[in-house]
Structure 1
Amino acid sequence: MTDLAEPAAAEGVGADTPRPQTLLLTFLGGHVLDRGIHVATASVLDVLDRVGVSEHATRSTLSRMARRGLLHRVRRGRHVYVGLTERSRAILHDGERRIWHAGAVNRQWDGTWTLLGFSMPESWQRQRHALRSRLLWSGFGSLQGGLWIAPGRVDPAPLLDGLGADGHVKVFQARTLAPTEVAEIVREAWDIEELAGHYRAFLARWQNPTTQAADSLARDLLLESDWLQTIRTDPRLPREHLPADWPAEPAQELFYALSTELKPAAHTIAASILDTITDEQADED
């Protein structure tokens, strides 16, 4: 889940450019997912070069993702090809759902909250960091102490997968009762102005874009990666508890409009430059 929405910049990209892993996963989600193919690393280098990522940064990202079980690598002749694993497919399908189906605004909240509390040993720094990252991606805010809260019904299984922390976590579903006020919960658990600022910044970047992209493929990757980073910490709070001028809706409309405009040419360019083999060919001995 969190692999799809890493914030900040990394080696080989500018401060306003999404990280190489975010760009790479966005590319894989748009041009490899559900197609039954592996793509040559040379093609990946070409694509990420179009968005300003250095060869060194791309190769480092590919190696790191392969070590983490996000990519399957195979050599055929002089070329190395990379394909998706079960784990990366799950991550990409989750991102696909978040972008194209869930939407940025929650208009169907039924009044239910999911609460999750955890207490882990001090030595479990990696597990605590991973769980907090997953909680943020899944829409949780920190209510108090080790208690986190999210609107709606959130399945805890993906949050805890692989952490070995089940015995240190308690999960509940609940509804508020008087004297608790939903507006107070929203103010305490989330920085609404900061969330709104992410959407306003997206609008400012893309209403009159100054980003120099090589072509429609590059621009589409930058757009979708930027949108992922914009929504990555948005809990999709109930619309009735958000300000009247909430900027998520116009930002989403702009993203959808630009994406619709860019995708046909982006797919045409990708089809012309990508060196691919089928998953069956990749599995041959």
Structure 2
Amino acid sequence: MEKQFNTRSMIFTLYGDYIRHHGNVIWIGSLIRLLKEFGHNEMSVRAAISRMHKQGWVQSEKIGNKSYYSLTERGRARMEEASNRIYKSKSPSWDGMWRMLVYTIPENKRHLRDELRKELVWSGFGLLSNSCWITPNPLEDQINRLVTKYGINDYVSFFRSTYEGMSTNQELVAKCWDIDDLNDHYSQFIQEYSQKYVIDKPKIEKGEISDGSCFVKAAMLVHQYRKFLFIDPNLPAELLPEKWLGDSAASLFSDYYQLLQNPANRFFESVFELGNVHETNK
């Protein structure tokens, strides 16, 4: 099978959707076997997991001659946050307040500034003006983690405030986020995956698609939908346009995922348990 997605990204998807629900630890051999389903070879899996280890997302443990990998505390926190957003049932409620983060990070720490920007976009902040980021969501905990992680307490100011003008809240949203472009992405997702859902539903219900194929389809679905975490700020319903497609995309994702979940889990567990059996028999 031709490799379709970045190996590291697929590993994140498997940790978020499967491994963290099975004790958070996996034998590298099982991981290699799972990634083989997507066209990733052993060398690319080992290189990707090594990179994730250096970046602080996973930690390793050697038992006998076998290597096991688990998410670090940082990795678990990121997976938990991502999962809450991927599987959310509706837009968050709004308390009418805006959170504003302003930083003045010196030039000799530019790398911290670049890292912080990426983290803020991922968390759903929008850029209002140079070094001034805003969100309507209560992300105080995430901000405290970021400030501690990067050691930038002296360079950051964080406010909880109301917007007093000179435009409306909706116009403020339009200035900080490209909602029309986001809606276009959701439209493309709905068009592609509604067709796949209609085709697969009767086949899966009749048992005509293998567990391995359902595992691949489920992981691909999550992997594609997960991309919205990097572009959708998860705004409250009050701030979204009338013709918002995010909720329709979320419903389609949920229906399709539920359809694939049982056979996909069976396949994952068969490979995962095989690794544990090998260890027990050693």
User: Shorter-chain TM-score: what band?
Assistant: 0.7 to 0.9
Task: Verify: 1:220 aligned to 2:218, yes or no.
Answer: yes
The 5-angstrom pairing of residues 51-130 of structure 1 reads 51-101=38-88, 103=89, 105-106=91-92, 108-130=93-115
> Residues 15 and 24 of structure 2 are in contact (CA less than 8 Å); yes or no, is this contact kept in structure 1?
no
Name the structure 2 match of 1:5: none
Q: 1:260 aligned to 255, 258, 273, which one? A: 258
Of the structure 1 ranges 188-197 and 269-278, higher mean CA displacement relative to structure 2 is found in: 269-278
Name the amino acid aligned to 1:242. L
Distance 2:71 2:165 in 1: 49
Kept after mapping to 1: 8 A contact 2:94/2:238: no
* Counterpart contact for 1:115–1:174, Cα < 8 Å: yes
Q: How far did residue 122 of structure 1 move? A: 1.9
Distance across 1 between alignment mates of 2:122 and 2:264 = 27
The alpha-carbon distance between structure 1 residues 168 and 13, as it changes in their structure 2 partners (threshold 3 A), is farther
State the percentage of identical aligned residues.
27
Could you tell me how far 1:261 is from its partner in structure 2? 0.6
- Using structure 1 for the length normalisation, give the TM-score: 0.83
Q: CA deviation at 1:267?
A: 0.9
Q: For the structure 1 residues 56 and 184, does the alpha-carbon distance in structure 2 shift closer, same or farther, using more than 3 Å as the test?
A: same
The SS at the match of 1:143 is strand
For residue 140 of structure 1, report the CA deviation from its aligned partner.
0.6
What secondary structure sits across from 2:160 in the alignment? strand
Matches within 5 A, 1:8-47: 13-14=3-4, 17=5, 19-36=6-23, 38-47=25-34
Instruction: Quote the residue 2:125 is aligned against.
Output: 140
Q: How does 1:145-164 map to 2 (within 5 A)?
A: 145-155=130-140, 156-164=143-151
Q: Is the 8 A contact 1:113 1:149 kept in 2?
A: yes
For residue 53 of structure 1, report the CA deviation from its aligned partner: 2.6
| Counterpart amino acid of residue 42 in structure 2 | E
> Structure 1 stretches (4+) deviating beyond 3 angstroms?
275-278
- Count matched residues: 263
Retained in 2: the 8 A contact 1:38–1:276? no
Alignment root-mean-square deviation, CA: 2.5
CA spacing shift, 1:13–1:170, aligned 2, 3 Å: farther
Equivalents in 2 of 1:241, 1:70: separation in Å? 34
Q: Which has the higher contact order (CA 8 A, sep 6+)?
A: 1
Q: Which runs of 5+ in 2 are unaligned?
A: 200-209
Structure 1 distance, partners of 2:259, 2:176, is 37
Aligned residue for 2:149, secondary structure, equals coil
CA–CA separation in structure 2 for the residues paired with 1:44 and 1:168: 41
Structure exhibiting the larger radius of gyration computed from Cα positions: 2
For residue 74 of structure 2, give the secondary structure of its aligned residue in structure 1: helix
CA distance in 2, matches of 1:109, 1:66: 37
Change (3 A) 1:160 1:100: same
Supply the distance in 1 between the matched residues of 2:135 and 2:20 (Cα, whole angstroms). 29
1:277, CA displacement in angstroms? Answer: 4.8
Compare 244-253 and 115-124 and name the one that shifted more.
115-124
The structure-2 alpha-carbon separation of the partners of 1:153 and 1:251, relative to structure 1 and needing over 3 Å to count, comes to: same
Question: For 1:197-212, what aligned pairs fall within 5 Å after superposition?
Answer: 197-209=184-196
